[in-house]
Structure 1
Amino acid sequence: MKKIFSILFLSVGICAFSQQVESMETIFNDKISIRALELYDHKIWYSGTDSKFGFVDIQDPKNPKQIILSEDKLEFRTLAQDKAAFYAINIGSPAHFFTIDKKDLKSQVVFTDTTKTAFYDALHFVNEKLAYTFSDADKDHGLKLAIYRDGKWGMLKNAVTLHEGEAAFAASNTNISSTKNFVWIATGGKASRILRLNLKNEKFEVFNTPFIQGESSNGIYSIDFSDDHFGIAVGGDYTKQEANVNNIATTNNGGKTWQIQASGQNAGYTTCVKIKPGSKGKEIITVGDQHISYSSDFGKTWKKISDEKGFFVCQWIDKNHIVFAGKNRIAVMTLKG
């Protein structure tokens, strides 16, 4: 789902609470918009606008590496990896599925979706042999899901039908999440629902949510699950950045039912959520265009820990370091231990 974000330059405003910020360091600057990150080999890898793909070495950020995946100025909002390669898909039509070899960074297009409605919102690897990516629907409103299995891409047949005006947001490559048993997909727009795929039988279940919905800019933008039971969803309305009603929810039963959290008491529109590894969902970081926020009680309450602006996506490096990326830069936040 296409969106236009305002360009706001960066100012730091850090407030203290139970989780305090020690520092925020910019390690990469470029004329680029980044909405997808991966960590590999002590490096932060990214894909973005103008067909740009590359990495920044966490230990030696002064020597970044960047390549151009296509002579066409494609926009990438997806990025994923297995042991051998990275994978990225450009938004819009035709949608080219790129593979980038980790050894020599040579890229090739291995699959192309030429349908006019092609717009791939997220790409996610469940394990080394299995990945999913989904696109805005065609005229039949069927869930359009591509599957990577045993080295090949194809379309996954399913019986899920989306509502008129129900789609997804290519905001941070995080509206797909998985465990060994399930894959969850979040939608937004006229309806904001959770689609859960059982990996054992490849059958879908569809669950309604109390999330803000009804308009094309409403809904869930990002989800994350710590296990088969606990998950969190964040989002809102990108046209109303400060709106903070019914834009955060959690589940304790694998997505079947959702409980709204901190409605009217959070920092507003949010594009990415990541559960701290090892915390089992207790500690969570979120980022939106106007804020970085933190929860230390399973998403029930939130504190804004930074007024940094222009970030769209984040990822935990370790328990005390988080990488953020967005408009024109990549930065690393250090939390006090």
Structure 2
Amino acid sequence: MVAAACGAVLAALTALPAHAHPARPAAPHWELKDTGVTARLRGLAAVDRDTAWVAGTQGVVLRTADGGETWRDVSPPGAAGLQFRDVEAFDARRAVVLAIGEGDASRVYRTEDGGTTWTESFRNTDPRAFYDCMTFFDRRHGLAVSDPVDGRFRILSTGDGGRTWKVLPDAGMPPAQEGEAGFAASGQCLVAAGSRDVWLATGGAARARVLHSSDRGMTWRAADVPVPAADPARGVFALAFRDRAHGLAVGGDYRPDQPSPQAAATTTDGGRTWRPAAGPPPAYRSGVAWLPHSRTAALAVGPAGADLTTDAGRTWRTLDTGSYDTVDCTPDFGCWAAGEQGRVARLES
């Protein structure tokens, strides 16, 4: 039943002509869900079509278990001054959220009861560190990344589902470029695929790069990515890998008055080399996700709209002009997007 539904939606998406309007009933479109908040929701973890977590400014964390019809405010107590930029959920009850910022503003909280109670499991004590994103390989093993400290990106590791964290040695991390950093725009600057592979997206320096580790963050190899760079506002903002080899990178220049040509790239060798999209999105994009049960279809989102690729990232066409910062999809075709002013939507056909 689920497979049939997924197939129908995917068929409709891949058949969508470039001039189709998302409001037409025959075309898949984003259906807005009323969250009741005005926070900017850059953190998103989709569990399935019914269950999703979002996190954002003002220390807000929300959870739905009915497809977005209702949302429960499960924000950690005393977190109103924090900016949550990433949430990773294992199911409807267990999730980990990351707050960003300099010094002790960077924190990690964990819940095991759907957000009824939270435990602060990490608080940064180094004023030079600024954590941007996190990812999990499985329910136990995960990483978080900070902007460079002493000239190298700092990696935080957990082996118990986010209950405890430790800083990994940086001997296997290549030196950072001058001005290089990660972008805490969508919770997708650090992503994993499989049990050991992880990729880190960077920007703000002379060249945009993606760093890859095949040993859970102990050693890394850097590769240049052909997206806009050479400015603090430019680089790779989000990554998505459907397996160890095939990945997508999106980004550009986040300033609304600046163009973002060639703001997408693809890899077929695990991030060793990257090729620019022949037909990239028309503007800066901060989030990207592969569609489930497809080797060629994916969605990208940003403040100026959402785009679809049906050829594994070589070309993109606009699906919607709504503002979103991040996107996530689940095996039962629960594709969700979130962004400014409490915006959350689910893809409907």
- Give 3-state SS (helix, strand or coil) of 2:341's partner: strand
Structure in which a larger fraction of residues adopt strand: 1
Give the alignment partner of residue 304 of structure 2, picking from 290, 298, 303.
290
User: By how many angstroms is 1:306 displaced?
Assistant: 0.8
The 5-angstrom pairing of residues 189-204 of structure 1 reads 189-190=204-205, 191-199=207-215, 202-204=218-220
Give the alignment partner of residue 106 of structure 1, picking from 110, 117, 120.
117
| Mapped partners of 2:328, 2:147: distance in 1 | 25
Matched with 1:183 is 198
Matched with 1:6 is none
Q: Which amino acid aligns with 2:222?
A: V
Moved more, 69-78 or 118-127: 69-78
- Note if 1:331 corresponds to 2:340: no
Structure in which a larger fraction of residues adopt helix: 2
Moved more, 223-232 or 201-210: 201-210
Q: Is the 8 A contact 1:241 1:269 kept in 2?
A: no
Identity %: 23
Q: Is the 8 A contact 1:242 1:267 kept in 2?
A: no
Matched with 2:98 is 89
The 5-angstrom pairing of residues 143-292 of structure 1 reads 143-150=153-160, 151-159=163-171, 160=173, 161-180=175-194, 181-190=196-205, 191-199=207-215, 202-240=218-256, 243-262=259-278, 265-280=280-295, 282-292=296-306
Cα 1:257–1:104, aligned 2, differ >3 Å: closer, same or farther? Answer: closer
CA RMSD of aligned residues (A): 2.5
Q: Is the 8 A contact 1:183 1:198 kept in 2?
A: yes
| Mapped partners of 2:291, 2:223: distance in 1 | 25
Cα 1:201–1:216, aligned 2, differ >3 Å: closer, same or farther? Answer: closer
Q: Is the 8 A contact 2:132 2:145 kept in 1?
A: yes
Gaps of 5+ in 1: 1-13
| Mapped partners of 1:154, 1:36: distance in 2 | 23
| Mapped partners of 1:113, 1:304: distance in 2 | 40
Q: Is the 8 A contact 1:35 1:325 kept in 2?
A: yes
- Give 3-state SS (helix, strand or coil) of 2:337's partner: strand
User: By how many angstroms is 1:105 displaced?
Assistant: 2.4
Moved more, 90-99 or 103-112: 103-112
Matched with 2:34 is 27
Q: Is the 8 A contact 1:15 1:306 kept in 2?
A: no
For residues 237-265 of structure 1, what are the alpha-carbon distances to aligned partners after superposition, in whole Å with 9 as ceiling and x for unaligned? 011466232210000111000000035x5
User: By how many angstroms is 1:295 displaced?
Assistant: 0.7
Q: Which amino acid aligns with 1:16?
A: A
- Give 3-state SS (helix, strand or coil) of 2:270's partner: coil
- Note if 1:74 corresponds to 2:82: yes
Q: Is the 8 A contact 1:295 1:303 kept in 2?
A: yes
Gaps of 5+ in 2: 1-17
